[in-house]
A = this chain, B = another copy of it.
Amino acid sequence: MAGQRRSPTQVDVARRAGVSQATVSLVISGGALGNQVAESTRQAVLQAAAELGYTVNAVARSLKGGRNRMLGLYTFEPVFPVDQRDFYFPFLLGVEEATAAYGYDLLLFSSAGSGGDRRIYAGGVNRLKVADGCVLLGRHLHRDDLAELAKEDFPFVFVGRREVPGVELSYVAADYVGATSEMVAHLARLGHRRLAYLKVTDDREWTRDREAGFRQGLVAAGIPDDQVRVFAMDERAALSAVRLQDWLAAGITAVLVEPTDDDSAIVALENAAAEAGVRIPDDVSVAVLGDPPLSEATARDWTRFTLPREQMGREAVRILLELLNDNVSARQLYLDCTQVAGDSVTELPE
């Protein structure tokens, strides 16, 4: 490999074909005016391009404002968090599939920083703009980055509901409200009318949505508030065996658990149960409100609901392309979750 050869440009092609750079551009990117080029000229240009091995320079093109047929995928966590691969992979799969189907390429923004904290505007640089638009993904986002991005009118779609004050975002979200409500209904049908709800303290969209769904389900099932225990878990206040026994003593027959990144709530519950000599589901039913990310870790086949992750990825791309091409404003889309029977919930004898 001798001398880092510069790749040929439209100017080179033009020179070879005996036309101007502008003509080459018209032939290559054949916009609306592409048809105005004479067939003979077009052929000459194409042949010259082929001979030189010309390729369009995506960077230059997007600098000018043109399109690249590239969509971006940016994740606020490392693209494939080692311990959550199985959780994130389906999203990627869906995005990739749809991207390919629409004839685009997919740019994974992985560069953003091996150092834990991923920012869109790392070092004051916004790489995202190389792509025509972008799908965003991840739990630990930075709202101000989103606001900034929106302010720049850069087209993007978040996978998951995200709210930023004063900005209308586009997203494709799982219907946590409906799914949680449905789970309550399911439990109620099985005779469970005294419930515990184990949530995380973070005040995030998904936590709020699940709790809203829970409340809604209670109302629908006619379960009064005083039949219910809501417990917010964080590092300091883990779930103790004592508290669990307390619940059982109070007549609680089922626990709804919100999954977390590290499955801590589920693990805590299992530990507490083991310590207290409480069996799942014999002594208490447990329903998980979503997909436990580390499904390997906890071997049980939880009664739960599942996000349509692949579909979410696909729909995100579809909406992104709508934003791009139809010049519409922000759009939101909710998709249904699927209830999974599992074996951690039992019917309650009368």
Q: Given A63-B59, A124-B56, A125-B55, are A100 and B110 neighbors across the interface (CB < 8 Å)?
A: yes
Please, which residues of chain B bring their CB within 8 A of the CB of A330?
Answer: 1
Closest partner residue, chain B, to A28 (CB atom): B124
A101 CA / B110 CA spacing, docked (Å): 8
A78 lies within 8 A of B100 (CB): yes
Please, which residues of chain B bring their CB within 8 A of the CB of A62?
Answer: 59, 130
Asked if A87 is an interface residue, CB under 8 A from chain B, the answer is no
Please, which residues of chain B bring their CB within 8 A of the CB of A1?
Answer: 153, 323, 327-330
A3-11, A176-184, A206-214, A340-348: which one contacts chain B?
A3-11
Query: What copy number does this chain have within its complex?
Result: 2
- Binary interface profile of A, 61-98, with partner B (CB < 8 Å = 1, else 0)? 11100101110000000111000010001000100110
| Interface size class of chain A, counting residues whose CB lies under 8 Å from the partner chain | 35 or more
A148 CA / B5 CA spacing, docked (Å): 11
CB proximity of A142 to chain B, nearest CB, Å: 14
Q: Given A7-B129, A53-B126, A151-B5, are A107 and B70 neighbors across the interface (CB < 8 Å)?
A: yes
Question: In chain A between 133 and 157, which residues have their CB closer than 8 angstroms to a CB of chain B?
Answer: 148, 151-153
Please, which residues of chain B bring their CB within 8 A of the CB of A50?
Answer: 124
Please, which residues of chain B bring their CB within 8 A of the CB of A153?
Answer: 1, 4-5
Task: Name the residue among A58, A63, A104, A112 with the largest chain B CB count within 10 angstroms.
Answer: A58
- Other-chain residue from B89, B101, B129 in contact with A57 (beta carbon distance below 8 A): B129
CB proximity of A91 to chain B, nearest CB, Å: 12
Closest partner residue, chain B, to A93 (CB atom): B80
Closest partner residue, chain B, to A60 (CB atom): B63
Please, which residues of chain B bring their CB within 8 A of the CB of A58?
Answer: 68, 125-127, 129-130
B49 lies within 8 A of A124 (CB): yes
Please, which residues of chain B bring their CB within 8 A of the CB of A53?
Answer: 126, 148, 151-152
A125 CA / B5 CA spacing, docked (Å): 18
A152 lies within 8 A of B7 (CB): yes
A21 CA / B104 CA spacing, docked (Å): 31
A105 lies within 8 A of B109 (CB): yes
Please, which residues of chain B bring their CB within 8 A of the CB of A123?
Answer: 56
Query: 5 closest Cβ contacts across the A-B interface?
Result: A100-B110, A55-B129, A58-B130, A106-B108, A50-B124
